[in-house]
Amino acid sequence: MKLGHIAAACLSLALSAGACAQTTTLKIGYATSKESHYGVGSTVFCDEVEKGTQGRFKCQHFANSALGGERDQIEAVQLGTQDLVNTSTGPVGNFVPEVKIVDIPFLFRDYDHARKVMDGPIGQDILTKFPSKGIIALAWTENGFRHMTNSKRDIVKPSDAAGLKMRTMENKVHMDGYRTFGILPTPMAFPELFGALQQGTVDGQENPIPVILSSKFSQVQKHLSLTGHVYSPALLLLSPKVWNKLSDADKKVFVDAAKKAALAQRKKVNDDENNGIAQLEKDGMKVTRTVDGAAFREALKPAYAGYAKEFGADNIKKIADVQ
C-alpha cells in the first residue's frame, strides 16, 4: 500500500481505532554532538516532519559520527542504507562537482552575503544537480566560517601558517588554497581528528567556531586565529529510496521542515559565534582576533587562477557580486 493511500485510510478512519499507528523511523546522522548546530538543525527538521506527517515519520539521531565520517554517510544515503545526513559541503563535491565552487577560500564577504547566495538563484540551482547523482538535497543548512587552530603559534599572516601540518577535509578546493599559505594539508576523516591533535600527528585544524566548541578542541589546541578563510555551508541530504515513496504532500512537509531546520541551524551558528569565542578563551585558548586578510588573499592568487579555469571566472564573479 502506498504511503499516500495509508494517509487517506487513516483520515477516513479518523484515527479512531489506532489502525494507522504505522511509523517509519528515519536514521539521521551528523558529525558533531546533538547539542551542536548540526544537532539543533536536525532536531528541528525531525520534529517538523513528525508533526507534519501526524507521527507517520520520526527520526533516530546518530550524532558524533556514530555512522562514520561525512563521506561515508553521504555514500550510505546514496546507497539507501542511511536515510538522512546533515553534512558540511567538504566531501560533497566528490559526489556533486557543482558544489565545489562554494568551497573557494575568501569567496564570501560575511554571513549575509553567503546566505543570500545559498538562498538565491545560484544556491538553489546547485540543489537541482543532486538527484541525477542519486541524492536528494532538501536544503542548505550551515556550518559557518572556518578558522584555524594549532598547537604551535599565533597565525596573523600566511607565513605564520607555513609548515604547519593542518588537518583538512577531503576537499581539493580547500587543499589547493591552503597550500598557497604554506600549510601542509593533511586530509583526515573528522572522527579521527581529536586523537590526531592529541597525539600531535597534526599540528592543527580548521573549522567554524560551533565545531571547535562542540568538539572540545580547546583541550588539544592552544591557538585560535579568526581567519574566516572559508565559508562552510552544509546540506540536509535525503536518500531517494525515502523520497521516491513519499506522497506530494509529504514531500512538501519534508522540504518545509528542512527550511525551518536551516533557519534554526543558522541561528545556533550565530549564537555560538557570538558567545563561543569568549568560552574558548575561558577554556584556555589564546585567540588572535585581528588577522591580515589582505595578505591571505594575495597569497591565494595562484590558486584563484586554477579556480577560474575549473569553475569559470564569470561564475566566481557572479557569486562575489551578490549584494
From first to last of its 323 residues, the chain has per-residue pLDDT tens of 455 554 554 454 444 434 455 999 999 999 999 999 999 999 999 999 999 999 999 999 999 999 999 999 999 999 999 999 999 999 999 999 999 999 999 999 999 999 999 999 999 999 999 999 999 999 999 999 999 999 999 999 999 999 999 999 889 999 999 999 999 999 999 999 999 999 999 999 999 999 999 999 999 999 999 999 999 999 999 999 999 999 999 999 999 999 999 999 999 999 999 999 999 999 999 999 999 999 999 999 999 999 999 999 999 999 999 99
Residue 193 is predicted with a pLDDT of: 97
Domain 22-320 sits in CATH at: 3.40.190.170
Residues in contact with 233: Cβ distance below 8 Å, sequence separation at least 6, in sequence order: 88, 89, 102, 114, 118, 123, 140, 141, 142, 143
* Cell reading at 19: 489502525
97-112 in b/e form (b: 16+ CB < 10 A) is: ebbbbbbbbbbbeebe
Residue 2 is predicted with a pLDDT of: 52
DSSP state of 93: G
Residue 170 is predicted with a pLDDT of: 85
Residue 20 is predicted with a pLDDT of: 55
Residue 158 is predicted with a pLDDT of: 97
How many whole angstroms separate alpha carbon 297 and alpha carbon 106? 7
Residue 15 is predicted with a pLDDT of: 45
Residue 29 is predicted with a pLDDT of: 98
Residue 294 is predicted with a pLDDT of: 96
3-state secondary structure of 299: helix
Burial of 303 (C-beta count, 10 Å sphere; 0-12/13-18/19+): buried
Q: Angle at the Cα of 116 (from 114 to 122), degrees rounded to 5?
A: 90
In the block, cell 555514500 appears at: 75
